[in-house]
Amino acid sequence: MAVRVVIIGGSFGGLTAACELRRQMGPDRVAITVIAKERRFTFVPSLTWVATGTRSVEQISFDLARPLAAAQAALVQQTVVGIDPERKVVDTDQAEHPYDFLVVATGHRSANEAVPGLGPVDGPGHSPMSVPEAVELASAVGALVRAPGPVVVGAAPGASCIGPAYELAFELDHLLRRRGLRHRVPISFVTPEPFLGHMGMGGAGKIRQLLEGAFEERDISYHTSAAVTKITEGVVEVGGSGPIPSILSIVIPPLAGVAAVAATPGLANLKGFIPVDDHYRQPSLDGVYAVGVAIALPPVEETAVPVNFPKTGHMTEQMAVIAARDIAARIEGREGSTAELSARCVLDMGDRGVYLAVDPVRPPRNRIPTVSEGRRWLLAKRVFERTYLWHARRGRRMPTSLGW
Ligand SMILES: Cc1cc2nc3c(=O)[nH]c(=O)nc-3n(C[C@H](O)[C@H](O)[C@H](O)COP(=O)(O)OP(=O)(O)OC[C@H]3O[C@@H](n4cnc5c(N)ncnc54)[C@H](O)[C@@H]3O)c2cc1C
């Protein structure tokens, strides 16, 4: 009988794990089931473009049925409510799914309760962290263009996904300049990072100098080691800096594990993130793996205001490949191999981009990080998005020569 592998999540982690496992082993050896609460894959990095009106959700997403059919994997659109590691069963709102191996790739929950007013569901703040939030933010940006006023962009204490905050500050600056409205919109950037470009990974090469120069050039005032303590309709309260007037506050929240993971005894830490070893196995539960934003990774260092380690889509895919190959190796009675995570990304600066490559992500690093700025990188980011979606829709991995 084929070994049963259940994968929870249909995003970077889940889809990559399913496709890679099928590449390793045919359907006679493994039966793959992907459980996802939404049946669409969304290219999450483009949610900032949804927020600023240059993409629709349809343009950056596709139905998971086609790539999973190509991977000969079953797609189950259900919401997982818990996992029973003793019985090796995943419970959803509709059924039980037994497994021999389980890969948890459920991403995050926005921990909006950490700061009063973080939103948009829980307060007047805005966020690009999910499709509905990005769509809501797009209408708030539309309102800003109709009635300009001060804006705060940034991240809350304990945030780990800070790159999109930089992108939104630059994209808003660019959008407002093009409309001749920038002089009516003071933009402030607030971040728990000890310096710009720390990004939870201790900085990278010249990214700090580049971002400081770019913000100063564009009249974006910035506050580092800043703890957002409260967001109201007209003000963002910041420990140390006092209140900053704001009619549009976009503050990235700290993240936590999703409810089903947090509710499973023995699976996750207090924040709901899953501890893993070098092979992305949960060390105390047999046959359980976790990849992507769902895993627990310690911060690189203690900072005055907490900043957590980033988990990017690129890193998530590397984790998913290691986990899938490890499952295949164990089915064959071998030990899988592992590798340090590296990261490459392009930050949208509105009229140009910055390419950033770090290897490994956690310092000290073997290579001096690459930091390169130019219009060509913004074009590369757009081409990458299209090419990625073209490949992923067909159940193929992005060729590594194209940068991921
Ligand atoms: C605005 C923004 C911009 C970003 N930009 C970049 C970038 O430029 N480059 C980069 O590398 N990374 C970027 N990232 C980070 C990247 O998007 C994440 O690292 C990536 O999405 C993580 O993938 P994942 O599979 O771990 O989780 P997610 O993408 O969060 O997916 C989680 C999956 O689990 C499913 N799920 C969750 N709970 C349940 C449940 N109970 N039952 C069933 N299914 C469930 C969801 O439906 C979804 O399919 C960005 C993130 C954001 C928010």
Kindly report, residue by residue over 223-268, the tens digit of the pLDDT.
999 999 999 999 999 997 889 999 999 999 999 999 999 999 999 9
Same-domain status, 132 and 213: yes
The answer to whether the pTM exceeds 0.95 is yes
Question: How would residue 402 be classed by pLDDT, with cut points 50, 70 and 90?
Answer: low
The vertex-339 CA angle with 98 and 89, nearest 5°, equals: 10
Specify the ligand 1 atom closest to the Cα of 79: 42
Q: In total, how many domains does the chain have? A: 2
Q: How confident is the model at residue 403 (pLDDT cuts 50, 70, 90)?
A: low
Same domain membership, residue 13 and residue 53: yes
Ligand 1 centroid, distance to 213 Cα (angstroms): 31
End-to-end CA distance of the chain: 36
Tokens (6 digits) for 198: 């720390």
Same-domain check for residues 82 and 118: no
User: From CA 203, how far away is CA 369, in angstroms rounded?
Assistant: 9
What are the structure tokens assigned to 353, written together?
Answer: 């981009």
Domain-located, residue 213 = yes
Q: Tell whether 371 is covered by a domain.
A: no
Asked whether residue 191 falls in the same domain as residue 308, the answer is: no
Q: Tell the burial category of 131 from Cβ atoms under 10 Å away from its Cβ (0-12, 13-18, 19+).
A: middle
The reply to whether 64 falls in a domain is yes
Query: CB under 6 Å to ligand 1: residues?
Result: 8-14, 35-38, 44-45, 47-48, 79-80, 105-108, 128-129, 161, 163-164, 258, 260, 292-294, 311-314, 316, 345
**Does residue 378 fall inside a structural domain?**
no
Task: Please indicate, yes or no, if residue 383 is contained in any of the structural domains.
Answer: no
Q: Of 253, 285, 314, which residue sits at a domain end? A: 253
- For the annotated catalytic residues, the residue numbers are 161, 345
In this structure, are 249 and 261 located in the same domain?
no
Question: Has residue 166 been placed in a domain?
Answer: yes
Residue 384 inside a domain? The answer is: no
Q: What is the pLDDT of residues 144-160, one digit of tens each?
A: 999 999 999 999 999 99
Residue 292 has φ and ψ, to the nearest 5°, of: 80, -150
Atom of ligand 1 nearest to the CA of 81: 41
Q: What is the CATH number of the domain that holds 302?
A: 3.50.50.100
Residues 119 and 95 in one domain: no
328 is a domain residue: yes
Residues 264 and 248 in one domain: no
Q: Over range 294-302, report the average pLDDT.
A: 97
127 and 218 part of one domain: yes
- The last residue of a domain, from among 339, 365, 395: 339
Residue 110: C-alpha distances to residues 67, 129, 276, 397 (Å): 28, 8, 21, 28
Please enumerate in sequence order all residues whose Cβ is within 8 A of that of 227, keeping only pairs 6 or more positions apart, or say none: 156, 157, 192, 238, 239, 240, 305
Q: How far is the CA of 294 from the centre of ligand 1 (A)?
A: 9
Pairing of strands 248-252, 288-290: unpaired
Residue with the nearest Cα to atom 33 of ligand 1? 9
**164 CA distance to ligand 1 middle (Å):** 13
Query: Do 36 and 155 lie in a common domain?
Result: no
pLDDT in tens, 80-122: 999 999 999 999 999 999 999 999 999 999 999 999 999 999 9
At residue 300, the 3 state secondary structure works out as coil
Do residues 132 and 195 share a domain?
Answer: yes
**Token digits of residue 338:** 């592992």
* Domain of residue 10, residue span: 3-108+257-339
Report the run of H or E that residue 249 belongs to, with start and end: strand 248-252
For the chain, how are helix, strand and coil distributed in percent, rounded to 5? Answer: 30, 25, 45
Given this model, what pLDDT does residue 1 score? 87
Q: Does the pLDDT value for residue 3 go beyond 70?
A: yes
Task: Take residue 188 and report the two structure tokens written for it.
Answer: 């402030």
Q: Which two tokens stand for residue 362?
A: 């956690």
37 and 127, same domain (yes or no): no
Answer yes or no: are the C-beta atoms of 8 and 103 closer than 8 Å: yes
Question: Which of these three, 339, 362, 386, is where a domain ends?
Answer: 339
In CATH, what number is assigned to the domain containing residue 144? 3.50.50.60
Residue nearest to ligand 1 atom 20, measured at CA: 313
Same domain? For 77 and 103 the reply is yes
What is the H or E stretch that residue 51 is in?
A: helix 47-51
Instruction: Report the separation in Å between the CA atom of 184 and the middle of ligand 1, taken as the mean of its atom positions.
Output: 35
Mutation pick for ligand 1 pocket among 312, 317, 344, 348 (CB with most ligand atoms within 8 Å)? 312
